[in-house]
Amino acid sequence: MKNVKAAMRGAQETLGFDSPSHMKGLQVFIADIRNCQTKEQEQQRVDKELSKIRLKFANPKSLSGYDKKKYVWKLLYAYMLGYDIDFGHFQAVELCSASKFSEKTAGYLATSLLLADNNDMVRMIVNSVKTDMASGNEHMAALALNTVANIGGPEFADNLFSDISKMLLSQSNALSPYIKRKACICLLRLYRKENDGLKPDIWSKKLAALFLERDIGLLTSVSGFMLGILEMGKYPVQAWAEVVPPVCQCLASLVQGDCPEFYEYYHVPAPWLQTKLLRILQFFPVSMFDAELLHRMNVMLQSILAKPSSQRTPAPPPGPGKKRSKVDAERQNRSNAEHAILFEAMNLMIHLEDTADPETMKTAAGLLGIFLSSTDPNIRYLGLETMARLATNLSTHEYLDRYKNQILDKMHETDISIRRQALNLLYALCRPENWQQIVDELLEILGASDSLLQEELVLKIAILAEKNAPNFGWYVDVVFKMLESAPDAVADDVWYRVVQVVTGFEDGSAESEKHGLQRHAASKAYQNLTSQRAPHDTLLRLGAYLMGEFGHLLPPSVTPRAKFEALHRHFVRGSQQTKAIILLASVKLLNGNEALSGEVGSFLKEIQDSADVDLQQRTVELLQLARDQDKLDEVLSPMPAYAESVQRNNPLVQRLKFSSRNRAHTRAELEEAAKSEGGMYKPGGKKVEGDGRALELPDPGRVSAVRSSPQAASESESSDSEGAAPDPQAANGTASGPSPKDLWLQLCLAPVGRFYNSPHLVLEMKQEYNAATGRLTILFKNNSKGAIGNIRVQIPEVPFMKVQTFSEVPPSMKPGEQAQHLVQVQCLRPFLQPARYAVEYCTAPGEPAQQLPLLLPAVVTKFISPAEVQPPQFMPFFESLAGQPRELLSVGKAKQPPNQWLNYLQKGFNFFVLPGSGPTQTLAAGTLNTATPDPSQPGKMMSVPILVRLEYEGNQQLVRLTVRTQHGEVTSSVAKIMETYLLVPPNGS
């Protein structure tokens, strides 16, 4: 025993550890804190100790390395208790270069905890880290690498990425697996900050060689590093093809049980490594796998899926008031590990698609069916989610159909996430053979479902009914049933689609068939309008439209008077849009039967005195039309059939979010998917793929009359979503002077200015921005001699910006009256098209409503803050960002002379202009701020550095604009905005 103790003391002395009897002061401090009875006593004791340490650090010459270490440990303990430590940082940095391991440990740990956000202080330990990594002492090197991995950050990424890379590339044979493992973890952390120094042609071979190592810990670190590379998506996956065979070989060894016992987790061989290897293979397209690799993968998958199910059975939940036994806990942990591997194996099988073994597919379908009955809700959820992706392969439906009733039962679960996945699976499994059972069950569930799921249910029921019903009559019946069960969840685009289907398409269908459907739809509308005392507003709109358009097809037993009464009885309770549709439908009934002239004429005369200006206008127009039968016939002629392309491109389908078969996604794809919840987009919010097109600057401020027919409404919504607007000068009501587009362009640079100008309404704006937040004050002024009424402001939701309003615009304004509208915006991610600011108002009774589809001048450059960078720092970083998509280069004629660049860059675009910039070359730097949390730095928001170079060629008056960032979308949006102001467009306009 004495020899063992002597050996331990010798090892401690060699490594620099102090014996336990040392640092008595630290032990006393901890004991005193533990003995404190109240928070006040603890505060007093900590303040006393911090004051003492502060005095000691004030005289550094009298401090030994041991003293510094002891006091730094006390600071760390106080910091762990939640007290702010604003001194001792320099002493912690000094300890990092100490020769003793214990002192170095205290220094590095204090640096990791106290200085992680202080780039200036972290920069001071870079040389110490480099020295320790090259010292040849494994413990010192491991400590330095731990510090790098814990802090990460741009300082370490810039200065240490190449050094750590060399350790693996050139010194790999001299390093132990322990150091290689830590080096891989460091590189992963730094690669996410700086990913330019890793080239596939060099690293592909090295990573392939590392996957042939035997150390499980090293293999786990290499797998994490490889996953990080693939998830960043910097290079195409084909560049990393060399790693695929060794990854398969490594996975095959683990599946066969070739794993040291101490790396088994409850008898499961290295489950974290297995899941990472399976995930890596999913990043590579199936076309990259040759026949031998595919065979090996199928054998491995069959081995994983064919394991006895007893190993994967989770422990039963403990009874009320009982704790889970140790045996049950071990069983649960083993079940979790087995299921993690199993689900990842199924993901790989789904990724292989038709190249996967059919028997393996059948086995997987059987296992997923078992998981639907699991007592663990997480396993039920994953089973449904995996089965939904498996169902995208039509050949698997014969295996999955048998579980249809079980899946329907899951629609009654209390957990909405499970119900949502069950709905996704039912949607994937629905075919003409089984659609009626599935749709009928979903209709029963619809009424009792909560509002969070109802709209998605309505959307998918409508799509399934249209797609699978033997005739469109069934589809119409289904929509009316939904309007009875959950009318609030039936969005406008659902009943717009009913109108399209009933009107018909240019698909060659027989006229008798179309008329039969139209008669059936009008009959359903008449039945609902006459049988319900207070139908929902959406049902009223659909019913009124169908009655007006196809009411003439109803049987003779339904008299014209009865048709009109069915509409007229509900007119009072309808909304403004609904009243407009009922009004038009009544006139269409009159056009089809002159016997209604008395009733409809009296109805119109009553409404022409309505307080609603829009209804007044419509009534006057319709009364005028009714005097000319030919014009009335022309204007109210039946709707023509829709183009066949409208039938193929169902707008409801475009609102669905379809998950791909593959679960391997880049970080950018995962971040995009996390921005919205549920299985669909909001109306008008279908996903638009970025195509890298130039930023369009639409003319905001177009004034237009309100349209109310379903077709016009859908066209208007589509037009607005694309940001198109004709020349505002062509519209009525705008004043002479700068156009709304010119005013908007000025506000994109200036903090204060006029937003909109007309003889009646004037809008002025004041903008204040701080990092990712902007506060906009819009001042409404009534410049006319009369009152302005029906004022409404709408700011549609956008995914890239959070918009909040803190005051409302009054519905009417007297002559000379002013009102403020306060809006706060927060940038969430880079964007091209700005958010809309739609204003609507009426200048006088009987006049059409004026619509101003303005755009908020909160463009992406408003959220940039100056970054003070010096030329020696600027150029290396600028050169490191070369290449698409992080770089955008534009060349064109100068729109502004170089002597104006400083004003635009500093005041307009919020950049810091580097000293030494001149008329031939100007350098600028800034940071785009967002309000999106940075997952790699808790408590911080994501930001993107932006570097700009402007070059001027005086002879030809050409400007070369170069914008470089780490994010392609930022580069594109900033460059396009700068082009608008600094470069003449190619067409010279």
| pLDDT(226) > 90 | yes
Residues belonging to the chain:
989
Q: Judging by DSSP bridges, how do beta strands 761-770 and 773-782 pair with one another?
A: antiparallel
Q: Which of 132, 139, 137, 123 is nearest to 164 (CA)?
A: 132
Q: What is the pLDDT of residues 71-112, one digit of tens each?
A: 999 999 999 999 988 888 889 889 998 989 989 999 999 988
Average pLDDT over residues 507-530: 87
Residue bearing tokens 């289907």:
501
Q: What is the pLDDT of residues 282-335, one digit of tens each?
A: 999 888 899 999 999 999 999 999 877 655 566 566 656 566 678 878 888 888
Kindly state the tokens that stand for 14.
């060699």
d(CA 265, CA 807): 58
Task: State the average pLDDT for the chain.
Answer: 82
Q: How confident is the model at residue 688 (pLDDT cuts 50, 70, 90)?
A: very low
Q: Does residue 154 contact residue 162 with C-beta atoms inside 8 Å?
A: no
Q: Does residue 567 contact residue 582 with C-beta atoms inside 8 Å?
A: yes
| H/E stretch holding 850 | strand 850-855
Average pLDDT over residues 726-755: 66
3-state percent helix, strand, coil for the chain, nearest multiple of 5? 55, 10, 30
Instruction: DSSP for 881-941, please give it.
Output: T-STTTEEEEEEEBSS-GGGHHHIIIIIS-PEEPTT--SSEEEEEEEEEEEEE-TTSTT-E
Q: Does residue 968 contact residue 878 with C-beta atoms inside 8 Å?
A: no
Q: How confident is the model at residue 724 (pLDDT cuts 50, 70, 90)?
A: very low
d(CA 938, CA 672): 19
Peptide bond into 885 cis (omega under 30): yes
DSSP single-letter state for residue 786: S
Q: Does residue 744 contact residue 723 with C-beta atoms inside 8 Å?
A: no
Q: How confident is the model at residue 42 (pLDDT cuts 50, 70, 90)?
A: very high
Percent of the chain with pLDDT over 90: 22
Q: Does residue 874 contact residue 925 with C-beta atoms inside 8 Å?
A: yes
Q: What is the pLDDT of residues 759-792, one digit of tens each?
A: 888 889 989 898 888 988 889 888 888 888 888 8
Amino acid, res. 836: R
- The pLDDT, as a whole number, for residue 79 is 92
Kindly state the tokens that stand for 967.
């994010």
Q: What's this model's pTM, rounded to 2 decimal places?
A: 0.63
Q: How confident is the model at residue 709 (pLDDT cuts 50, 70, 90)?
A: very low
- The pLDDT, as a whole number, for residue 310 is 54
Instruction: DSSP for 225-253, please give it.
Output: HHHHHHHHT-S-GGGGGGGHHHHHHHHHH
Q: Does residue 878 contact residue 949 with C-beta atoms inside 8 Å?
A: yes
Q: What is the pLDDT of residues 188-224, one digit of tens each?
A: 998 887 767 788 888 999 999 999 999 999 999 999 9
What residues form the annotated binding site?
A: 56, 66, 70-74
Distances (CA, A) of 913 to 348, 861, 882, 962: 51, 15, 20, 14
Percent of the chain with pLDDT over 70: 87
Q: What is the pLDDT of residues 936-985, one digit of tens each?
A: 777 788 888 999 998 888 777 788 889 999 888 889 889 888 888 888 87
Residue bearing tokens 């949502």:
420
- The pLDDT, as a whole number, for residue 317 is 64
Q: What is the pLDDT of residues 540-585, one digit of tens each?
A: 999 889 988 888 888 888 888 888 888 888 888 888 888 888 888 8
Instruction: DSSP for 30-89, please give it.
Output: HHHHHH--SHHHHHHHHHHHHHHHHHHHTSGGG--HHHHHHHHHHHHHHHHTT----S-H
397: exposed, middle or buried (Cβ count in 10 Å: 0-12, 13-18, 19+): middle
| pLDDT(716) > 50 | no
- The pLDDT, as a whole number, for residue 573 is 83
Residue 759: which residues within 8 A CB-CB, separation 6 or more? 733, 735, 783, 784
Amino acid, res. 359: E
| H/E stretch holding 754 | strand 752-757
Q: Which of 181, 179, 258 is nearest to 225 (CA)?
A: 181
Residue 80: which residues within 8 A CB-CB, separation 6 or more? none
Q: Which of 597, 827, 853 is nearest to 722 (CA)?
A: 853
Q: Which of 14-23, 83-92, 155-164 has the highest mean pLDDT?
A: 83-92
d(CA 431, CA 428): 8
- Min mean pLDDT across 379-383, 454-458, 694-698, 756-760 is at 694-698
- The pLDDT, as a whole number, for residue 254 is 92
Radius of gyration for the chain, computed over Cα atoms and rounded to the nearest angstrom: 35
Residue 689: which residues within 8 A CB-CB, separation 6 or more? none
Give the count of alpha carbons within 13 A of 213, CB side only. 23
- The pLDDT, as a whole number, for residue 41 is 94
Kindly state the tokens that stand for 738.
């700068």
- The pLDDT, as a whole number, for residue 969 is 86
Residue 472: which residues within 8 A CB-CB, separation 6 or more? 466, 501, 502, 517
508: exposed, middle or buried (Cβ count in 10 Å: 0-12, 13-18, 19+): exposed
Q: Judging by DSSP bridges, how do beta strands 789-794 and 773-782 pair with one another?
A: unpaired
Give the count of alpha carbons within 13 A of 442, CB side only. 33
Residue bearing tokens 């942990």:
333
Q: How confident is the model at residue 926 (pLDDT cuts 50, 70, 90)?
A: very high
Average pLDDT over residues 354-374: 90
Residue 112: which residues within 8 A CB-CB, separation 6 or more? 146, 147, 150, 151
d(CA 128, CA 96): 6
| H/E stretch holding 840 | strand 836-842
- The pLDDT, as a whole number, for residue 604 is 80
Please, what's the largest Cα pairwise distance for the chain?
A: 118
Kindly state the tokens that stand for 817.
């009256």
Distances (CA, A) of 319 to 316, 334, 376: 9, 21, 15
| 813 φ/ψ angles, rounded to the nearest 5 degrees | -135, 135
- The pLDDT, as a whole number, for residue 727 is 32
